[in-house]
Amino acid sequence: MDAGDRPARLAVGVLGAGRVGSVLGAALVTAGHRVVAASGVSDASQRRAAERLGVSPVTPDEVVRASELVLLTVPDDILPGLVSGLAATGVDLRGKLLAHTSGAYGLSVLEPAAQAGALPLALHPVMTFTGRDDDQRRLVGCSFGVTAPPTLRPVAEALVIEMSGEPVWIDDADRALYHAALAGAANHMVTLIAESQELLGRIGVEHPGRMLGPLLGAALDNVLRLGIAGLTGPVVRGDAGTVRKHVDALILAAPEAADAYIALARLTADRALAAGLLKPEAAERLLDALGGNIWT
């Protein structure tokens, strides 16, 4: 980025100095901005404010008063109340950049503050943070879902680039679907893999992660490069007998996992059929093995 494209050096405040807020605040410091204030409820957040951001925790309204850019890095369920509360306190929001990091919310959640003169931004890092010291390195090349009023789009994208991320524009109306896609992939993947590890452990596999690692690595590489064309396994082969054996085994060993397997196998068959990877007659046999036809 050319020097002329960089936003002015800003006084940054962090409301919620947890895993995300402390990482983004530290990244902005690395880019030359200054973290001047932070708030945090938990002991861990207060410790991160001191250790990562070099500030002592203060109240939310004090953070806003001291800052030109305020990062709202709190859980989704807390965000609406926090914004409304700030607007209701009468703290001066005029001309202040207010950036939340929620994937599910767009700009409407910031409307009470915008009506009071704040400049709203939605900057969602597409990354999982653990609270460890290597979290900031995860920002390098990380996509951010960016939503902002048109006049603020250059500022929002410049801030993301300064944090070593890659801005990806998401229309405000698409935020919920955007976040559902991300959560469905990342969160459900963790659940599925943990379930597979547990099932393998039950039958005596000593290191389930070691067994699954190469397989899952190859499957992830395939889908990221090829999309649904990278699909392998009994569903895309039309092996209805094998799929039925899977279901029967899961019903006995883990009934809740059987329900998930059936739902995902149906979705997989649906996608494979639509892509021309699975013949209709094979799909019918699969769906019979899974408990019935879902197509009309």
Write down the pLDDT at residue 104. Answer: 94
Write down the pLDDT at residue 3. Answer: 42
Among 56, 46, 49, 44, CA closest to 29: 49
CATH number assigned to the domain covering 3-170 = 3.40.50.720
In terms of Cβ atoms closer than 10 Å to its own Cβ (0-12, 13-18, 19+), residue 52 is buried
pLDDT, tens digit, 9 for 90 and up, residues 181-195: 999 999 999 999 999
- 72 pLDDT more than 60: yes
144 vs 286: CA distance, rounded Å = 39
**CATH architecture, domain 178-289:** Orthogonal Bundle (1.10)
- 17 pLDDT more than 80: yes
In the chain, where does the domain assigned CATH 1.10.1040 lie? 178-289
- 127 pLDDT more than 80: yes
Confidence of residue 41 (pLDDT cuts 50, 70, 90): confident
Region for 90 from its dihedrals, namely left if φ exceeds 0, alpha if ψ lies in -120 to 50, beta otherwise: left
Kindly tell me the sign of the dihedral angle through the C-alpha atoms of 290, 220, 228, 282.
Answer: negative
Confidence of residue 210 (pLDDT cuts 50, 70, 90): very high
Write down the pLDDT at residue 4. Answer: 43
Of the listed ranges 35-49, 107-121, 146-160, the one predicted with least confidence:
35-49
Kind of pairing between the strands at 97-100 and 11-15 = unpaired
152 vs 207: CA distance, rounded Å = 50
Write down the pLDDT at residue 292. Answer: 56
Write down the pLDDT at residue 264. Answer: 96
Report helix, strand or coil for 113. helix
Write down the pLDDT at residue 274. Answer: 96
pLDDT, tens digit, 9 for 90 and up, residues 98-126: 999 999 999 999 999 999 999 999 999 99
287 vs 235: CA distance, rounded Å = 10
In the chain, where does the domain assigned CATH 3.40.50.720 lie? 3-170
Write down the pLDDT at residue 5. Answer: 52
Write down the pLDDT at residue 296. Answer: 35
pLDDT, tens digit, 9 for 90 and up, residues 217-251: 999 999 999 999 999 999 999 999 999 999 999 99
Kind of pairing between the strands at 119-125 and 143-147 = antiparallel
Give 10's contacts (C-beta < 8 A, 6+ positions apart).
28, 33, 34, 67, 68, 69, 97
Write down the pLDDT at residue 1. Answer: 45
Confidence of residue 146 (pLDDT cuts 50, 70, 90): very high
Kindly tell me the sign of the dihedral angle through the C-alpha atoms of 100, 105, 108, 111.
Answer: negative
Q: What share of the chain in percent tops pLDDT 70?
A: 96
Higher-confidence position of 56 and 67: 67
Which stretches of the chain are DSSP H helices? 19-30, 43-51, 60-66, 79-89, 111-115, 153-162, 175-202, 208-226, 234-237, 240-253, 255-274, 280-289
Q: Which residues pair with 145 in a beta bridge?
A: 124, 168
CB 119 within 8 A of CB 153: no
Strand 69-72: give its sheet, edge to edge. Answer: 34-39, 11-15, 69-72, 97-100, 119-125, 143-147, 166-169
Q: What is the pTM of this model?
A: 0.86
Whose tokens are 């944090």? That residue is 163
Q: Give the chain's mean pLDDT.
A: 92
